[in-house]
Amino acid sequence: MTDAERRAALEAIAEEVTACTRCRLHAGRTRAVPGEGNPDTEVVFVGEGPGFNEDRQGRPFVGRAGDLLVKLLASIGWRREDVFITNVVKCRPPDNRDPEPDEIAACLPYLRRQLNVLDPALVVTLGRHSMGRFMPGARISQAHGTVRPVDPETGAADALVYALYHPAAALRSSEVERVSYEDVAGIPRALVDARRRRTEDAERAERVNPAEPAVPQGTAVAVAPPASAPDVRPAPAASPSPSPGTAPDDQLTLF
């Protein structure tokens, strides 16, 4: 898929979300919040659902939790516009209550389609509800800062998931905030691991079925860091940035 095709596909999903009435949350929303970010990114952040400010603006993580998310990203040299940010439910639950299981189920096809289009190497979950989708059965107290393969059924065909506490939890507890900075510092390494896994999966597919190079080659191209988002890679402190276009495998040798 070209950049323009990805952009158009994400735009089409966003338009459907804006008009969606599939669950009761549509009744209380001011604006739906489909998500936003770089269509070419390797990393998708998934939160829980829009809050007060998000509902007003139609954009994810623009309130206090969003401010902290931006600071957390900055601590590894990333910017929010380099990644894609969305939520498990796209409409604000009344009084910021937790989304109900049937609301999450109703909204999941949108997230699945977004992940299908974006084909990220790494999914970063923010909080329990998002983690529950990508690390079924995990407990946030144990799973934060850890990585697992993603079930392709989620829409992310070949990705790892990395769990974070929700930034709103970090706003309520300085200890959770401290741990969140530690956890975020592990994201670049998780991305490198995710890239390596995708390269290996593509090579394995190539060995198994060399007559059909289209799939493994397409996957390998998607792994390469997009030139438009050079910051989506390990921070310079951990790994000197290679020149744009350098194969991801070259970065792996730095570790």
Given the rule CB under 6 A, which residues bind ligand SF4?
Answer: 17, 20-23, 25-26, 32, 89-91, 103, 106-107
**How distant, in Å, are the alpha carbons of 15, 19, 28, 210, 245 from that of 155?**
19, 22, 28, 25, 27
- Closer CB to ligand SF4, 17 or 140, in the complex: 17
Q: Of ligand SF4, ligand URA, none, which one sits near residue 71, judging by CB under 5 to 8 A according to partner kind?
A: none
Is 48 near ligand URA (CB under 6 A)? yes
Q: ∠ at Cα 5 (14, 234), nearest 5°? A: 85
Residue 92 interacting partner from ligand URA, ligand SF4, none (CB closer than 5 to 8 Å by kind): none
**Choice between 25 and 117, CB closer to ligand SF4:** 25
- Select from ligand URA, ligand SF4, none the partner in contact with residue 50, using the beta carbon and a kind-dependent cut-off of 5 to 8 Å: ligand URA
Q: Among 14, 32, 43, 87, indicate the residue that binds ligand URA (CB under 6 A).
A: 87
Helix (H, G, I), strand (E, B) or coil at 29: coil
Q: Residue 54 touches which of ligand URA, ligand SF4, none (CB < 5 to 8 A by kind)?
A: ligand URA
Start-to-end Cα distance in the chain? 31
Q: Which does 47 bind (CB under 5 to 8 A by kind): ligand URA, ligand SF4, none?
A: ligand URA
Short-list 191, 135, 188, 192, CA closest to 163: 135
- SS3 letters for 33-87? CCCEECCCCCEEEEECCCCHHHHHHCCCCCCHHHHHHHHHHHCCCCCHHHCEEEE
Torsion of CA 25, 66, 151, 14, to 10 degrees: 50
Nearer residue to ligand SF4 within complex by CB, 87 or 199 = 87
Nearer to ligand SF4, 25 or 205 (CB): 25
Does 114 bind ligand URA (CB under 6 A)? Our answer is no
